[in-house]
Structure 1
Amino acid sequence: MARLFGTDGVRGVANQDLTAELAMALGAAAARRLIRTGATRRRVAVVGRDPRASGEMLEAAVIAGLTSEGVDALRVGVLPTPAVAYLTSAYDADFGVMISASHNPMPDNGIKIFGPGGLKLDDATEDRIEELVQQGPGARPTGAGIGRIVDAEDALDRYLRHVGKAATTRLDGLTVVVDCAHGAASAAAPQAYRAAGAEVVTIHAEPDGLNINDGCGSTHMDALRAAVVAHHADLGLAHDGDADRCLAVDAQGRVVDGDAIMVVLALAMREAGELASDTLVATVMSNLGLHLAMRSAGVEVRTTGVGDRYVLEELRAGEYSLGGEQSGHIVLPAFGTTGDGIVTGLRLMARMAQTRCGLADLAEPMQTLPQVLINVEVADKATVADAPPVRDAVAEVEAELGDTGRILLRPSGTEQVVRVMVEAADEDTARQMAVRVAESVSAQR
């Protein structure tokens, strides 16, 4: 049986893979595993969601599971994922639940669970929750022991006051176009940026439950690029459905990805003495250009597996102050326990305001090497990825590339797919080598 939890919670097609029954069972299991024992006060879980239509159904089911175990549900409504993580800590809740499938299309949905303090769960805790789901409910409380539902009317205001601290200088004079992906950022992001002084033009900020991520947001940047140029804006910011990501567009309409954003922020923080141990944490998917830029600046790069949860683990273990992913998950532990797209946007614009430089100039140290990614469908991703002919093909490419590029071969975290990624000095070389290794993978399936 496949593991219930993936790299970022439990996801699937809502009402097909992720059913109301499963959502209720997850809520109940999380309550049994994560409530703090020995406390005399009421036990509380924060529950938030993005605006996709199925979120209403799944929110009701999760809350039914929580309250059936005697846990009060503090309902915060439609808010970004990082807001739910922050509010879990701010309200001193036992844990938090976010119902969202992030950048996935509308039919999908997901359930992310945060532990005490708003921290993401480790594998062992997720495994225990999965065991409790499979076991089913035990003895349940009755009467006054049943949990209650409370609406947190001040949730958005609390979160906005918190993220506002990320703007280290006023943003007056900056014009930004914000693509809210018809998602959880639609209310919060424009308010946060305007409060810091920026002139804000919003696009895709009218969620109707069905249009989230539909041709917009951080996975579809063309509309934002055009809008930045049309409005003569200083930059554009693109969030995903739950606003834990942020990608940018410079004044010329060119995309500035998560790697480039990390370079900009790392150099700013190093200059201010805020980059702990002069170290940046990134995943294996970050471009070699990031490593070269950081090496030139005297910044060490600590590399983790794919997924912001692994970035977070490394940040906590080393007490580092900046990490993230090429996809735009940027984590600043001083401002949150998970990636926060709005914090990222504020910090990026603050750097522009402080230096009076355009985003293109600030991102110039990041020179992206051509990158080719090929996904190969297989029957058993773990066995194929470890097959001797595949290992030999990877070793040959590594030897040919030397210090001029790199190859990464990894099984997908959610599909029976092996991903082959090659970076090289030119795209033709990268593609030829990626195809060669992909063919060796295909031969094993």
Structure 2
Amino acid sequence: MGLFGTSGVRGVVGEELTSEFFLELGMALGTCLPVQSTVCMASDPRLSKDMIKASLNAGILSAGVNVTDLGVLPTPALAFLTRKLDCASGVMITASHNPPQFNGVKIWDPSTIGYSREQEEAIEKVYYEKRFRTAPWDSLGQVTTNVTAREEYFKAIEKIISVKTDLKIVVDPGNGAASQFATDLFKRMGITVLPVNDEPDGTFPSRPSEPRADTLVKTIQYLKDEKADLAVCFDGDADRVVFCDEKGFLGYNEMIGFISYLVAEKASNKTVATTVETGRLLDHAVAQAGGKVIRGKVGDVAVAHLVKDYAACIGVEQVGVYILPEIGMHPDTLYATLFLLQNMEHPSEIRTFIHSLPEMHFEKKGIECSNDKKQNVMKEVESVIDVLEPEEVNLLDGIRLEFSDSWLLIRPSGTEPLIRVICESESESKMKTLINKGKTMVENALQKVNP
């Protein structure tokens, strides 16, 4: 089994992930990079960040590669600065939306795209064969600290976009990497900001690091109490963002649909890139701008390559990932938020637009499944899917079944020990029927694999 999932290396610290593991991962990464090249490194505020950083640093330096420490930064800033600082790679220490006991590493190349599977396989080959390059004492890498990284990102954003709005915006980083970063950037852009959960804290004490309707109840109440217009809510490393208004959570497919529509409306190439997890609401939204949607594998790296290959105007994932090529090929939730505020007079426009589209019913369930059993479970599921009589079967990433008015996806998570069952339908009753059938299929397959 490889080291990397759909979003880098990830696991529970002290169990799958140890200091010894990160030392050798750093040695493997350093071996794959040119001698005396430079890696920039940042992290979210998780408590394990210092241990992981020290271990990675030791491994990278031993291979004769330098490290520039950028401190705690959101993933969008780290990815952008990998190119801006002319680094050979960017290393982000984060477990994104996972709970605080998790951590991991995601690696970016100078194009601002996360490492491809081929690049990851090169690291895995060195790691498993233990063929590490060891630099002599006078060629070891050195660590430097960059204290201007935050300012460099802010200045770059200011050159690309300006925002004029009278809206009052609640910013909720959830004590993650965007704490005291998003607020400062938005204030600098002239936006009225009301921060909440804005102190970096790797235990995520205020709410879970994944922003969802059920974890943002207090944030929505704060928005109402302060008579604010919109809440912008980030996950642990700010590679995902969701939005709320006075009526509540604005939805995942709804917001990627609205923002994609705004982007496509202005673009010459109106192609929007996404994944097999994304619903048809996006297609309806983009069609309003005369655009079309292309789908590929799950993960921002796969979406970035679709954006690049098809010259798409935007790449999105249903969970709140936004890739806008004018800033880079990485998820940049900060820039996406600024684009939204630049092109919207009032949040009521979002619900008005969504209500103009065909009504779609969407639901996602997760069934616990250990990583070592996922492949066998999926084989069992694939063997029985014909009983659902799908019109089309897509095996690009998981099993996506297409019906005239619905679709069902069964797919192993690349970041958690889960198999996800996702369904969307024009009919709420059909959606519930299909998703329950999919869930039962997975549960039955689990019993066969693990009697």
- What TM-score does the superposition give when structure 2 sets the normalisation length? 0.89
8 Å Cα contact 2:42-2:70 kept in structure 1: yes
Return closer, same or farther for 1:331/1:138 CA change in 2, 3 Å cut-off. Answer: closer
RMSD between superposed Cα atoms in Å: 2.5
- 2:260 is aligned to 266
CA contact (8 A) 2:114 2:301 kept: yes
Q: 1:282 aligns with which of 274, 279, 286?
A: 274
- The verdict on how the C-alpha distance between 1:159 and 1:186 changes in structure 2, with shifts beyond 3 A counting, is same
The one-letter code matched in structure 2 to 1:24 is: L
Deviation at 1:118, TM superposition (A): 2.7
Q: Provide the rounded CA distance (Å) in 1 between the counterparts of 2:264 and 2:59.
A: 46
| Aligned-partner Cα distance in 2 for 1:407–1:296 | 25
1:8 aligns with 2:41: no
Q: Which residue in the other structure is 2:182 paired with?
A: 189
Q: Is the contact between residue 163 and residue 338 of structure 2 (CA under 8 Å) also seen in structure 1?
A: no
Secondary structure of 1:158 counterpart: helix
Identity percentage of aligned residues: 29
Distance 1:406 1:392 in 2: 14
Deviation at 1:50, TM superposition (A): 0.6
Q: Aligned-pair distance for 1:249?
A: 0.9
Q: Is 1:438 matched with 2:431?
A: no
Q: Deviations over 1:355-386 (max 9, x none)?
A: 89644335544555222334345674334434
Could you tell me how far apart the structure 1 residues matched to 2:179 and 2:359 are? Answer: 31
Alpha-carbon distance between aligned partners in 1 of 2:206 and 2:280, rounded to the nearest angstrom? 29
Contact 2:27/2:132 (8 A) holds in 1: no
- The aligned counterpart of 1:66 is 60
Closer, same or farther: CA 122–356 of 1 in aligned 2, 3 Å: closer
SS class of match (1:169): coil
Amino acid at match of 2:169: V
CA distance in 2, matches of 1:10, 1:154: 28
Which deviates further from its counterpart, 234-243 or 363-372? 363-372
Query: 2:402, 2:273 → 1: CA distance?
Result: 24
Partners in 2 of 1:363 and 1:428 — Cα distance? Answer: 21
Counterpart check, 1:236 vs 2:231: yes
- Distance of 1:425 and 1:72 partners within structure 2: 54
Please point out which of 81, 84, 90 is paired with 1:87: 81
Structure 2 match to 1:22: 21
Deviation at 1:241, TM superposition (A): 0.7
Q: Aligned partners of 2:362, 2:159: CA distance in 1, in Å?
A: 36
SS of 1:120 mapped into structure 2: coil
* Counterpart check, 1:292 vs 2:293: no
1:57 correspondence with 2:83: no
Query: Which whole-Å deviations, capped at 9, do the CAs of 1:219-273 have from their partners, x for residues lacking one?
Result: 42222211211111111100011011111112x232223432332233323332x
1:97 to 1:411, Cα distance in 2 relative to 1, 3 A:
same
Structural mapping, 1:153-192, within 5 Å: 153-171=147-165, 173-192=166-185
* Mapped contact 1:216–1:223 kept (Cα < 8 A): no
Match of 2:295 in 1: 303
Moved more, 183-192 or 434-443: 434-443
Residues 264 and 289, structure 2, Cα contact 8 Å, conserved in 1: no
* Superposition deviation, residue 406 in structure 1: 1.6
Mark the runs of 5 or more structure 1 residues left unpaired by the alignment. none
Do the aligned partners of residues 371 and 265 (structure 1) sit closer, same or farther apart at CA in structure 2, a change above 3 Å counting? closer
Report what 2:316 is aligned to.
324
Shift of 1:408: 1.8
* Change in CA separation of 1:145 and 1:77 when aligned onto 2, cut-off 3 Å: same
Distance 2:232 2:136 in 1: 49
- Provide the secondary structure at the position in 2 that maps to 1:238: strand
Distance 1:439 1:262, change over 3 A: closer
- The separation in 1 between residues aligned to 2:289 and 2:58, in whole angstroms, is 52
For 1:342 and 1:277, the matched residues in 2 are separated by 23
**3-state DSSP of counterpart to 1:116:** coil
User: TM-score under structure 1 normalisation?
Assistant: 0.90
Change (3 A) 1:244 1:425: same
Instruction: Please identify, of 335-344 and 294-303, the stretch whose mean Cα deviation from structure 2 is larger.
Output: 294-303
- Within a 5 Å distance, the mapping from 1:25-40 to structure 2 comes to 25-35=24-34
Deviation, 1:54, is 0.4
Listed one character per residue, the Cα deviations across residues 125-169 of structure 1 (whole Å, up to 9, x for unaligned) are: 111101211222545223331111110011000111122345343
**Letter in structure 2 aligned against 1:423:** E
Matched position secondary structure for 1:205: coil
- Asked if the contact 1:226–1:253 (Cα under 8 Å) also holds between the matched residues in 2, the reply is no
* Cα deviation digits, residues 316-337 of structure 1 (max 9, x gap): 1112120111111111011122
Shift of 1:3: 1.6
TM alignment of 1:215-254, pairs within 5 A: 215=208, 218-219=211-212, 220-250=215-245, 252-254=246-248
Do 2:63 and 2:141's aligned partners in 1 also have CA atoms closer than 8 Å? yes
Structure 2: distance between partners of 1:232 and 1:192:
22
Match of 2:397 in 1: none
What letter corresponds to residue 13 of structure 2 in structure 1?
Answer: A
1:99 deviates by 0.3
Q: CA deviation at 1:174?
A: 1.5
Q: Which residue of 2 aligns with 1:393?
A: 387
Distance 1:416 1:271, change over 3 A: closer
Report the secondary structure of 1:117's partner residue: coil
Matched, 1:122 2:116: yes
- Equivalent of residue 340 in structure 1, options 332, 342, 348: 332
How many Å separate the matches in 1 of 2:362 and 2:8? Answer: 28
SS in 2 for 1:121: coil
- Structure 1 residue 96: deviation in Å? 1.0
Q: Distance in 2 between matches of 1:227 and 1:297?
A: 34
Residues 13/212 of structure 1: CA separation in 2 closer, same or farther (3 Å cut): farther
Cα drift, residue 414 of structure 1: 4.6
